[in-house]
Chain A
Amino acid sequence: MAALKYPRLRAVSLRVAQSVPVVIGVVIISFILTRALPGDPAVYFAGAAADEASIQEIRVSLGLDKPLIQQFFIYVGDLLHGDLGQSISSGQPVVKDLANRLPASLELTLTALILSCGIAIPLGVLAATRPGSWIDHMCRVLVTAGVSLPTFFTGIILIYMFYYLLGIAPPPIGRLDFIYLDPDRVTGFYLIDAALMPDWDTWRGAAKQLVLPAITLALFTLAPIARMTRAAMLTALSSDFIRTARAAGLSNRKILYGYAFRNALLPIITTLGMVFSFALGANVLVEKVFAWPGIGSYAVEALVVSDYAAVQGFVLAMALLFVALNLAIDLLYTVIDPRIGFAAK
């Protein structure tokens, strides 16, 4: 009965329920990845100087002597306690390391996405409303070039141009120059924390460091969003309801933004899910180029020293983050599209 009364609630809970099997699948795959270590994990964790007895001891203590199914449940139990193992390089629990560094990655990714949506969506709309014009051609070139750009390469070119040649960008040494003190940690987002203090000098310093990596990541995500916006707007503008609206004499503005854009928004938001996948992957490369202390560069450092617990923790964290983002996008979908779940309203 409750479900009938609250169709919106029903749609939302159905969507949340749908992500449960995906999370289970993600956990299974990351379990397989942790158990697929090259060779015997016990030999690896025991170190080079270990003899047969100590390897056996480690095997028992890691639970590797138990059947695989039992190992899996132990793994899931550990996950539920938030235990992803110890990082060898930092000596800290992996969860703590990831939590410390996650805000840096999120600040970079979100800034980049806001930036690229802010450019790509207007560009796509303009290209769709003026097909064949120079802006349409520019959109087309940008779209094909954008997907061909290796993120790490764009980043290096930008550093060369704006730091070495023009001297207007700060050196690529992370989130804040040494002359500033880190802002007090509230959210972990330097821009927000510095604004809360408020310490505008630090804010400017953090913003300066953020600009180039954010542009690099934005250039990469620009292409799919612009492409989808253009295609979705073209579809919307050629549909019957727009013809009717034009015939009824509505203003161009009303037609474009009130009707066409609102309908085009749905496929654009769907594309955002795919863009997130690319952005989270590209994030790793951008962080390496700009020495950005996020979870991506953490994973890269861990890879170099074969710190497997840290790498697998990172992969799992990224996957869960991505599932959560997709869930959020779909929920946003139900808010924007009145046809989904609001039928009885």
Chain B
Amino acid sequence: MTKISKVTTARSQGRFDHLAYVLRENPITMLAFVMFGLIILSAIFGPALVPYDPLETNAVKVLQPPSWDHWFGTDNVGRDVFSRVITATRLDLSISVAAVALSFVVGSVLGSIAGYWGGWLDSVLNRFFDTIMAFPLFVLAMGIVAALGNTIENIIYATAIINVPFYARLVRAEVNIRRDAGFVRAAKLVGNSNIRVLALHIFPNALPPMMVQVSLNLGWAILNAAGLSFIGLGVRPPTPEWGIMVAEGANFIVSGEWWMAVFPGLWLMIAVFTFNLLGDGLRDIVDPRKRT
């Protein structure tokens, strides 16, 4: 265990050294970063690079097992599973990134308000978050999508709503312990407004733990969205999406056509696994004491 130098002049240098150290010590985190890069690349360039049109059906090549022409085989209407799996990355990633970004923003604002001003606002918000957490979260997401209507946007809203309490509570705790800190008083004394102190002086302190939360949350958001589309909410066929592809493939698994369900499921798993590893790795970088 090395100690990171806390000397402010060498702060950025120390941070970089620590990052390099953690990556060297923990090849799994390194692997997670590489996999994360690959996922991002396939989300951006995948749809342009795939060998077949993900929506093009081919009645001659139905339910073919994996081969050189079709790496992941073909599905029941002859579409290339590999092309569909890669194309789906963009949609799955967009849903979860949008949902997590939304809950990040809303959670930050509500948590900052609750933590900084306290009082009745704090109690009301806390009660509200408690109530959301009192639902089994996946079930609440189902209810929200059922109530708002069965669209992709509503999947995003539902996933965002069930995640807001986690962010809000984190920010509230981080803001609350600093509301009377010396640097906050100093900032107020020189004439900064409450909002300015909150946004520019206190809130940035909450960012490192928030980043860890974001990374862990992304994996969970992908699982959640794929689960919702697995039971027929949000994304509709023939749009390529991992959850719905697994659901379609599930009908063929009992007769032995495994590739239709296994490859999208595997990709989903790899994506979630990457974000979880990344979250654990980020936590090591941000807060070495919490290593388990």
Contact = CB atoms under 8 A, between A and B. Distances in A.
- Asked if A pairs with B, the answer is yes
Given A33-B147, A164-B254, A315 B265 contact: no
Contact of A230 (B132, B144, B246, B292): B292
B254 A148 contact: no
A231 to B, nearest CB: 6
Contact of B253 (A34, A36, A164, A312): A164
Contacts of B227: 150-152, 281, 285
B142 A299 contact: yes
Given A33-B143, A150-B223, A281-B139, A22 B134 contact: yes
Contact of A315 (B135, B223, B233, B261): B135
Interface stretch (B40-48, B179-187, B199-207, B272-280): B272-280
Contacts of A196: none
Main secondary structure of the interface of A (DSSP, over half): helix
Contacts of B142: 284, 299, 303, 311, 315
Interface in A123-148: 144-145, 147-148
Q: Which among B136, B142, B246, B261 has the highest number of chain A CB atoms within 10 Å? A: B136
Interface stretch (B52-60, B73-81, B123-131): B123-131
A325 B142 CA distance: 20
Given A160-B258, A303-B146, A303-B231, A280 B269 contact: no
Interface stretch (A182-190, A204-212, A316-324): A316-324
Contacts of B253: 156, 159-160, 164
Q: Tell me the interface secondary structure of chain B in the complex.
A: helix
A289 interface: yes
B140 interface: yes
Given A144-B277, A148-B273, A153-B268, A163 B254 contact: yes
Nearest to A18: B130
A308 B146 contact: yes
B145 to A, nearest CB: 8
B136 A156 contact: no
Contacts of B232: 300, 303-304
Given A34-B147, A148-B272, A150-B272, A319 B231 contact: no
Contacts of B233: 303
A338 interface: no
A245 B127 CA distance: 43
Nearest to B145: A303
Interface size class of B (residues with CB under 8 A): 35 or more
A167 to B, nearest CB: 12
A171 interface: yes
Contacts of B36: none
A38 B292 CA distance: 46
Interface in B133-167: 133-140, 142-144, 146-149
B225 to A, nearest CB: 11
Interface string A264-300: 0000000000001110111011001100000000011
B249 to A, nearest CB: 7
Interface string A100-141: 000000000000000000000000000000000000000000
Contacts of B272: 147-148, 150
B82 interface: no
A26 B133 CA distance: 10
A25 B143 CA distance: 15
Contacts of B146: 33, 303, 308, 311-312, 315
A38 B149 contact: yes
A231 B292 contact: yes
A62 interface: no
A38 B145 CA distance: 10
Interface in B244-265: 246-247, 249-250, 253-256, 258, 261-262, 265
B137 A281 contact: yes
A36 B148 contact: yes
A23 B232 CA distance: 29
Contacts of B255: 164
8 closest A-B pairs (Cβ-Cβ)?
A: A281-B138, A25-B131, A315-B143, A153-B265, A280-B136, A148-B273, A38-B149, A148-B272
